[in-house]
Amino acid sequence: MTVDFKAEIDKRRNEMMEDLFNLLAINSERDDTKVDKDHPFGPGPVEALEHFLAMAERDGYQTRNIDNYAGDFEFGQGDETLGIFAHLDVVPAGTGWNTDPYQPVIKDGKLYARGSSDDKGPTLAAYYALKIIKDLGLPISKKVRFVLGTDEESGWGDMAYYFAHPDVQKPDFGFAPDAEFPIINGEKGNITEYLHFAGDNQGDVVLHHFTGGLRENMVPESATAIISGQISLEELQDKLSVFLAAHPQISGSVMTKDHRFTVQIIGKAAHGSTPEEGLNGATYLALFLNQFTLAGPAQAFVQLTADILHDDFAGHKLGVAHEDTKMGSLSVNAGVFNFEESSSDNTIALNFRYPQGTDSASIKAGLEKLSGVEKVTISEHEHTPHYVPIDDPLVATLLSVYEKQTGLKGYEQIIGGGTFGRLLERGVAFGAMFPDYENTMHQANEFVDVEELYRAAAIYAEAIYELIK
């Protein structure tokens, strides 16, 4: 049976965009301050999950809500199951937006909102792709299970709970609409390790407070420090002016209150898998503070950040660099910084995306050699390297559909980012960003090109049909 999937998407443009606007208006950031037994990651992700499942029920699916951790629904019959894994949680909006991140708006063909490209836009595109197959009654021989997560941007606690549920079995193969075309069939390992600092805080200049970063998988857009000591406001302002003149790509400010100075540096956020695309406000702030005479843990904290972490995206200065011929180089994002003078446990969270040939223990051993670090700990959430061969029927089919619909040559890709595609042994990420597309995931003014999203939906529709017909 021949189907013009682009034409079918065109028929549903208005309803698809209405559904997407409604979903994007929900602030589904994780909020640990409001976690309880009914809201495992806070109320926002639950609201988004309930909204999406209600939409699926409207369209005739029988849905399951797995205790507000995740949800799913199935379509079709067969011995094999195709899994489509999407997520409804989003990273914090942060600052620097030109529009309200939770009031979606289209400008010059681009839909601006937090989650528009990661991952609510692609999720809706894949949903409408499946809806077309269902609406048309196309003949199929396999089941499709559409899975909705609520903690992909943090610890993947949603999927751990989902697959531990007695009524859940893993699909046989599948994809996540949460990356880029033509395909992502390989993903580096992903682990966060923490540097701990302790001791008495002294010196001519005293560091009372230093914070930067919202999530370990985001480049900190900004950072703030509070200092006092043998320095005047005028001297501090002069030094900051010189520093900003030497680094015109960032901005900064100084305020004073109660004989203490608050220094802020603003850089640029980026996805933690591509730290070189951002301007780390925290490492720049440490670079500025490193000219002052600090002591104790404050000195170790600032000096290590300035001398080693700043612009060390491959871990060379950290002593953990590693490269694999297929998967490429290790990358490191200095994601979250916390220093309080009253605390005996100040930390820097380093998020590593590592290729085959190294592991979290080897990285930890390298970090433990750093001067001034009291100890190193490892997050309990780790993803080891994942790869599905290019000749696997899943990969071959998806690339074939991509080539047919775009006229472009398909090729395999391995990334530092982590997607739900790696949940399955035969799992990949597929779209929705096209080659040479501007990636605004995890950044202010996140957007998705509306026409490109419709284009992705048509690719998803044909791809799903080819996999289950």
Indicate which residues carry an active-site annotation.
89, 152
Find tokens 């406000």 and name the residue.
Answer: 281
What tokens appear for 156 in the block? 């993947």
What tokens appear for 75 in the block? 């379509």
> For residue 436, what is the DSSP state?
T
| 32 cis-preceded (ω within 30 degrees of 0) | no
Residue 160 CA to residue 447 CA, distance in Å, equals 30
Q: Which of 379, 63, 344, 372 is nearest to 216 (CA)?
A: 379
Helix (H, G, I), strand (E, B) or coil at 379: strand
> For residue 416, what is the DSSP state?
S
Q: Which of 13, 212, 215, 222 is nearest to 118 (CA)?
A: 215
What tokens appear for 425 in the block? 């042994």
Q: Which of 8, 176, 139, 146 is nearest to 16 (CA)?
A: 8
Query: What strands, in cross-sheet order, belong to the sheet with 143-149?
Result: 63-66, 70-75, 143-149, 81-87, 173-176, 427-429
Residue 171 CA to residue 384 CA, distance in Å, equals 20
Amino acid at 267: G
Residues 307 and 358 sit within 8 Å (Cβ to Cβ): no
> For residue 308, what is the DSSP state?
I
